[in-house]
Amino acid sequence: MRAFIFPGQGSQSVGMGKALAEASPVAREVFQEVDDALGQHLFKLMTEGPADDLTLTENAQPAIMANAIATLRVLEQEGGVRLSEKAVFVAGHSLGEYSALCAAGAMDLATTAKLLKLRGQAMQAAVPVGEGAMAALLGADIEAAQKLADAAAEGEICTVANDNDPGQVVISGHKGAIERAVAMVKDFGIKRGVLLPVSAPFHCPLMQPAADAMKHALADAAVGAPVVPVYANVLAAPISNPMDIRARLVEQVTGRVRWRESVLAMFDAGVSDFVEFGGKVLAPMVKRSAPDANATSVVSMDDIEAVLKGF
């Protein structure tokens, strides 16, 4: 059994999608449709930069989704395969959950792009620059990370944002609390704490204004049932009902990305092969969480051809 998975923020880079678009008219159509939906030259920004503009949350989120969906569409249309026949689940890390829903037909491409543009803008606006921060804890399991976050909070927000794999947890909250946590890592048996170069403290209660904005936007958005269930970040469990999907996407803005648990749950449900589209971030996490699973990253035409041989 196979799951198709989709990366989150941080997997963007200048030049993304360029080679794929040069090689495939299918990919070019995806990038053009996203440009048209957003009314901006996002693909030009993806391929030419500048990097600072691409890294802005409101640009990075739809760009990462567009690149992932373009990669999948090339596989499907030029390889003659259907997602519903090759995957039993889809899942994505944070914004990647939107990519997964688009891939599985729960949202069309234009709707997904517009929602992610809004999501990026709302997340950026939720907390003034400089008030929030995030840090990666390396060599930390979820229990140690939670204890550290609780100790460092001192009345401020400091919480686990991403449970990525058995050795990497990300915390998020007020800048002072996150800096205290980084300084205290050794006391909790954690190898290292690294402040992340992010513009806002994602997946923590400080994001409530963004969650409110997404609740309003998702209420009006066309969301249908996916052709295969999607593993919701906040549940680490599969859902298919459109009302559930809307609610979980709202919760996800302030809630924890339970990626390690999602991988283990899919593996326990019989998934032995994980295929990541448009990035090379999630496959290594999968291998660290479920060492007996196969995990492949699909970015280039060569990657697509190699994966097709395995189908």
| Cα–Cα distance measured from residue 71 to residue 79, given in angstroms and rounded to the nearest whole number | 11
Cα–Cα distance for residue pair 180/198, rounded to 1 Å = 17
Residues in the chain: 311
- Residues marked as catalytic: 94, 203
| Residue at 241: amino acid letter | N
**What does DSSP assign to residue 49?**
-
The CB density around residue 219, as the number of other CB atoms within 10 Å, is 10
Q: Strand runs (DSSP E) across the chain, as ranges?
A: 2-6, 89-92, 132-138, 158-165, 168-174, 192-195, 230-232, 237-239, 273-277, 294-298
3-class DSSP state for residue 268?
helix
Residue 27 half-sphere exposure toward CB, CA atoms < 13 A: 24
Nearest CA to 79 among 26, 28, 41, 156? 26
